[in-house]
Amino acid sequence: TCPQCHRSASLDQRGLRGFQRNRLLEAIVQRYQQGRAAAAAAAKCQLCDRSPPEPAAVLCEQCEVLYCAACQLRCHPARGPFAKHRLAPPPAHPGAPGGGADGAKGAGGGRKLPTCAEHDLENYSMYCVSCRSPVCYQCLEEGRHSKHDVKALGAMWKQHKAQLSQALNGVSDKAKEAKEFLVQLKNLLQQIQENGLDYEACLVAQCDALVDALTRQKAKLLTKVTKEREHKLKIVWDQINHCTLKLRQSTGLMEYCLEVIKENDPSGFLQISDALIKRVQVSQEQWVKGALEPKVSAEFDLTLDSEPLLQSIHQLDFIQMKFPVSVPPVPLLQLEKCCTRNNSVTLAWRMPPLSHNPVEGYILELDDGDGGQFREVYVGKETLCTIDGLHFNSTYNARVKAFNSSGVGPYSKTVILQTSDVAWFTFDPSSAHRDIVLSNDNQTATCNSYDDRVVLGTAAFSKGVHYWELHVDRYDNHPDPAFGIARINVAKDMMLGKDDKAWAMYVDNNRSWFMHCNSHTNRTEGGVSKGATVGVLLDLNKHSLTFYINGQQQGPPAFENIEGVFMPALSLNRNVQVNLLHPAPLT
């Protein structure tokens, strides 16, 4: 019986030799036997005193001597003149696999060609498809394969090799998938480990919170017990003091009455007996019913029902890990990350730990800074948001909620944020034209081009009164810089004021003009030079814009009926350099 497929086979007179020999396995065994023989005949140390010598570990290419490990340390240390010698592995034996051309020949080309099992003198030349075995020419002429379907041995060899290679490709793909799966499993191990630690930490935190809550409640209950005890003690002590005083009075009266009774003077006794009898009766009436009973009980009318809590503690367990999808829980505002800068606010939030319901996004709402209705200012997946262009010196209320496919969750707590009283801004490199050059922490601006280019400030104004000044650091060849305000989408490749998104005063060395929508108005004498200071007054309460040069107002208010959100703006070319002076609040 075959030990692998467990099928029974009949043996002829040749016995086991009647089975077909597995010549491929024989060749593999022969190749490995040759390798072991080559390893046995490996290079030996040439300096060993032992018999037989130890196998060589290294070959010194300069000395051309083979050393074992012990002899190398003793005879060829890595110091002195030997320090620069190159030590290489000993050469492979010529008969070993891969040891040279002779070895290859021994493993393949020198092997004896197999002969037919039934005709010892004939080599295999054909392949019987019916019997699935190689056959010789004589088997086809005389043997049982004469009427079988046969093909050329070489062609079938290539065909089967191709089939095996194709099958191996499938196995290789599966092996690759298995390796990737093992990597995935190892990553899963690490993730399970990390998640387990996180859950342990959360569990400890939750249990500690329960213990803390129980400790605080215990302190409150102990306070109640202490107050009740002190109240009872006070009542008892008051009753003791009152009873002691009455007892003293009664005892004194009794002693006095006994002394009076001992007297033998009838007239003297009768003189005071009526008054004394009344005093005794009054004293007796003072001990009314209940006067000699305690006003409070020693028992405390306080009963702590801890059974429901104990049952809840005993039933405390993890809820089912597979949850039906429901609306997200309340987001938690991270107050330590919420802040304001100028007229912008930044809010941050996160979801509570151990939240199992998925979150697809968040909705951030802000009121109008004056206690009005909330409005949506952000919808998205981020948990950090900055809102610009708000009112200065205003108090805003903000809240956030999460949503998913099941709906919108509840609002978070409302956070209150106060914008700055005064605007502090610089030139904005992110929105400036690419020819603008900023320096001095973005407070100084110039240009690389001879054409006028626009740069905006980092603050935006929508209400209030705002004033800022710009100092002309350099002024060459009589250019026409323009100062003013603009909307965020102003054209930045032309002089400020040429489109309908900017309101400006452009000025040369002698005079100035107001410009909006490329319309020039209010020509005024007085220009700029190096060292001049230009002031801009934006009064959004009166909806007006006024300009100053060296403290002198340039004509009447340049523009009126201005409404909206505006940013400080400036246009200049390479002949001008302007420095932004720190703004100051107006009184």
Positions of E strands within 351-501: 361-366, 375-380, 384-387, 395-404, 407-408, 415-418, 436-439, 444-447, 453-456, 465-475, 482-486
Residue 180 exposure: Cα atoms within 13 Å on the Cβ side = 6
Query: Which is nearest to 576 in space by CA: 484, 509, 501?
Result: 509
pLDDT the model gives residue 102? 44
pTM recorded for the entire structure = 0.40
pLDDT the model gives residue 100? 44
How far is the C-alpha of 198 from the C-alpha of 204, rounded, in Å?
10
How far is the C-alpha of 371 from the C-alpha of 62, rounded, in Å?
92
- Residues facing residue 123 across a β-bridge: 115
Does an H or E element contain 314, and which?
A: helix 307-314
How far is the C-alpha of 546 from the C-alpha of 484, rounded, in Å?
9
In angstroms and rounded to an integer, the radius of gyration of the C-alpha atoms of the chain is 53
Per-residue pLDDT of the chain in tens (587 residues, 90 and over written 9): 777 777 787 877 777 777 767 777 878 888 888 777 766 567 888 888 888 888 888 899 888 889 998 898 888 888 888 888 888 888 765 444 444 444 444 444 445 667 777 777 777 778 888 888 888 877 877 767 777 888 888 888 888 888 888 888 888 888 888 888 898 888 888 888 988 888 888 889 989 999 999 999 999 999 999 998 999 999 999 989 988 988 898 899 888 888 888 888 888 888 888 888 888 888 887 777 667 888 888 888 888 888 888 888 888 887 654 545 688 899 999 999 999 888 889 999 998 876 778 899 999 999 988 888 999 999 999 999 999 878 888 899 999 999 998 899 999 999 999 988 877 889 999 999 999 999 999 999 999 999 999 999 988 888 788 899 999 999 998 899 999 999 999 999 999 999 999 999 999 999 999 999 999 888 888 899 999 999 999 998 888 999 999 989 987 887 878 888 899 999 999 999 999 986 544 43
3-state secondary structure of 445: strand
Amino acid at 554: Q
pLDDT the model gives residue 471? 95
Intervals of CATH 2.60.40.10 along the chain: 332-418
Query: Which is nearest to 427 in space by CA: 413, 404, 447, 408?
Result: 447
Q: Tokens 């302007």 — which residue? A: 578
How far is the C-alpha of 567 from the C-alpha of 549, rounded, in Å?
20
Intervals of CATH 2.60.120.920 along the chain: 436-581
Does an H or E element contain 256, and which?
A: helix 153-261
For the record, the structure tokens of 399 come out as 């809240």
Q: Tokens 């033998």 — which residue? A: 264
C-beta atoms surrounding 583 within 10 Å: 18
CATH of domain 332-418: 2.60.40.10
Dump the DSSP string for 102-157: HHHIIIIITSPPPB-SS-TT-BEEEEETTTTEEEEHHHHHTSTTTTS-EEEHHHHH
How far is the C-alpha of 382 from the C-alpha of 73, rounded, in Å?
65
3-state secondary structure of 98: coil
How far is the C-alpha of 540 from the C-alpha of 389, rounded, in Å?
14
Class of domain 436-581: mainly beta
197: buried, middle or exposed (CB in 10 Å: 19+, 13-18, 0-12)? exposed
pLDDT the model gives residue 584? 44
Does an H or E element contain 418, and which?
A: strand 415-418
Query: Quick one: DSSP state of residue 492?
Result: S
How far is the C-alpha of 303 from the C-alpha of 348, rounded, in Å?
46
pLDDT the model gives residue 106? 43
pLDDT the model gives residue 96? 40
Cis-peptide, bond into residue 52, ω within 30° of zero = yes
C-beta of residue 408 within 8 angstroms of C-beta of residue 374: no
C-beta of residue 416 within 8 angstroms of C-beta of residue 540: no
pLDDT the model gives residue 95? 41
3-state secondary structure of 356: coil
In the chain, DSSP finds a helix count (H) and a strand count (E) of: 7, 29
Q: Tokens 């020693």 — which residue? A: 298
